Amino acid sequence: MNIERVGVIGAGQMGTGIAHVLSLAGVDVMLEDVNGEALERATKTIARNMHRQAARGLIREEAIDPALRRIHISQGHLDDMRGRDLVIEAATEDEAVKRKIFQDLCPRLDSHTLLATNTSSISITRLASVTDRPEHFIGIHFMNPVPMMQLVEVIRGIATDDTTFQAALDIVRKVGKTAAYAEDFPAFIVNRILLPMINEAVYTLYEGVGSVDAIDTAMRLGANHPMGPLQLADFIGLDTCLSVMQVLYEGLADSKYRPCPLLVKYVEAGWLGQKTGRGFYDYRGETPVPTR
């Protein structure tokens, strides 16, 4: 199947990045969100990031304007997804929200349209079950930030057919990424390994083993990680970290995946990381300052 017209639902960090790489690859993109301000931010972010890529020699400057013209925006009109070859859901990591989107979306789609979710942890099989096309449903999990990260996890649900799987692999290749096939188990591969490490770093802070600065410095210099786990948690979003840990804990019923109470407390406080100005670091000044 030749995928030339793609819909992206959700103009947050992930949806914005997905629209960015698709448009550069020559794909016509319809970016939809219920929030007009999010759509405005998304288009500005995409343009700014493309110019940064051009300044670094990663893309050609003359490729930017045609790519931007391939992105169309839609505020709360799922009917605009009609005529798309593939629609990728990139809404918040909340299963109830995603299920509602798919239930509202399916009656508006052409019969040939493939469906994908960018979920980082939720069962593909379970999400597919609320659609009218589980055999044409698949997980395509881009990494954040999408323009820079090379990997995309591709996850089949129990009903996903071979045509849909091959189409997913084709779109990953088309945007210049590398696919890793993962089975449909909680959090797949990357987050199954990464998020428990972050959760353990939060436990290390919670138990007073080390401060925020000590923990991040130890993992940067002692394990040669590009950024410490608490800084990474702030970048991902502490609400997303908590959601993934809850999926692991509930899906695998193993106490080793229990979310750290301190992580829960930060989320309850609304300290979600960089996007809210405070998390394990306070970002409201010129330089980030540890909050513990």
Contact (CB, 8 A) for 122 and 98: yes
CA distance 29 to 176: 17
Q: Which domains does the chain have, with CATH numbers?
A: 5-182 (3.40.50.720), 192-281 (1.10.1040.10)
pTM of the model: 0.90
| Structure tokens belonging to residue 263 | 């992580």
Beta bridge partners of 278: 273, 282
pLDDT in tens, the chain (292 residues): 789 999 999 999 999 999 999 999 999 999 999 999 999 999 999 999 999 999 999 999 999 999 999 999 999 999 999 999 999 999 998 999 999 999 999 999 999 999 999 999 999 999 999 999 999 999 999 999 999 999 999 999 999 999 999 999 999 999 999 999 999 999 999 999 999 999 999 999 999 999 999 999 999 999 999 999 999 999 999 999 999 999 999 999 999 999 999 999 999 999 999 999 999 999 999 999 999 9
Within its chain, how far is the Cα of 238 from the centroid? 14
Contact (CB, 8 A) for 8 and 22: yes
Beta bridge partners of 32: 9, 74
Contact (CB, 8 A) for 91 and 101: yes
Q: Cα–Cα distances in Å, from 204 out to 58, 156, 266? A: 39, 35, 15
CA distance 137 to 44: 31
SS3 content of the chain, % helix, strand, coil (to 5): 50, 15, 35
The residues assigned a catalytic role are: 120, 141, 153, 191
